[in-house]
Amino acid sequence: MKIFSKIISVIFHPLFVPTIGLFLIFNIGNQVSYVPVAVKRIVYVAVFVSSCLLPLSVTPLLFILKKIKSFKMETRQERIWPMFITGMFFITGYYLLSLIPVIPGFILNFILATIITIFVALIITYFWKISVHMIGMGGLTGGLLAFSYIFGLDIHLLFSALIIIAGLLGVARLTLNAHTLTQVCYGFLLGFFIVFIFVSATT
C-alpha cells in the first residue's frame, strides 16, 4: 500500500499537475481543440519549465543552504521557500506567455488561477500545514469543471475519474502519514474553489 501511495504521490505531484491540466484542457472538446499545435507546444514548454524544471533545479541549492532538511519537505517550514520560488517562476512563465498574442485567454486565466492558488497556499503554510498535493488536484478538478461550463462540454466521465484519483491521492497522503484528514480535505476544497471561481469569472 505504501509503494502505491508513493507512486501516485509522484505521478500527481504538484509540480506535474499544471502540465497535466493543460493536456486535459487542450483535449476535452472541439471547442478547445482549435488551438494550433505550435501554440500548444509553446504553452506546454513554458508551463513545464516554469512550474516543474526550474523549481526542481533550485531544490539542491535549498538543501545546501539548509532551507530544507530533505527533498520530501515533510515540515511546514520547509515548504515555504520552495512554494515561494515555484510561484515566482510561474509568474515569470505567465508573463512571457502573456506577451504572445496568439496564446488563448482561457489558458492564461488557468495559469493565473494556479498562481493565485500557490500564493494562497503559501500564506496558509506560514501558519498551518495543508496538503499541497490535494490543492493541486483540487485546482485541476475545479479548472476542468469550470471549462466544461464555459464551453458547454460533457466531461462527466473525466470529472468522475478526477474525483476518484483525488480520493486515491488523499488516501495515499494519509497512508504515508504526510497529512491529517483535515489537511487533505481542506487542501482539495481550497484548490477546487479558487480555480473554479477564478476561471469561471474571468473566461
Instruction: Provide the residue range defining the domain that includes 120.
Output: 2-202
pLDDT score at 2 = 86
Distance CA 134, CA 152 (A): 26
Question: With contact defined as beta carbons under 8 Å apart, do 52 and 58 qualify?
Answer: no
Which residue stretches of 49-104 are H helix? 54-64, 80-98
Distance CA 52, CA 196 (A): 22
pLDDT score at 28 = 85
pLDDT score at 162 = 96
Distance CA 147, CA 158 (A): 12
The count of domains in the chain is 1
Q: Which amino acid is at 128?
A: W
pLDDT tier, 100 (very low <50, low <70, confident <90, very high otherwise):
very high
Distance CA 166, CA 189 (A): 11
> Which among 166, 79, 70 is positioned nearest to 129, based on CA atoms?
79
The alpha carbon of 17 is separated from its chain's Cα centroid by a whole number of angstroms, namely: 4
Local structure of 74: helix, strand or coil:
coil
For residues 4-13, average pLDDT? 93
pLDDT score at 116 = 96
The pTM for the full model equals 0.92
pLDDT tier, 127 (very low <50, low <70, confident <90, very high otherwise):
very high
Q: Which residue has the cell 483540487?
A: 138
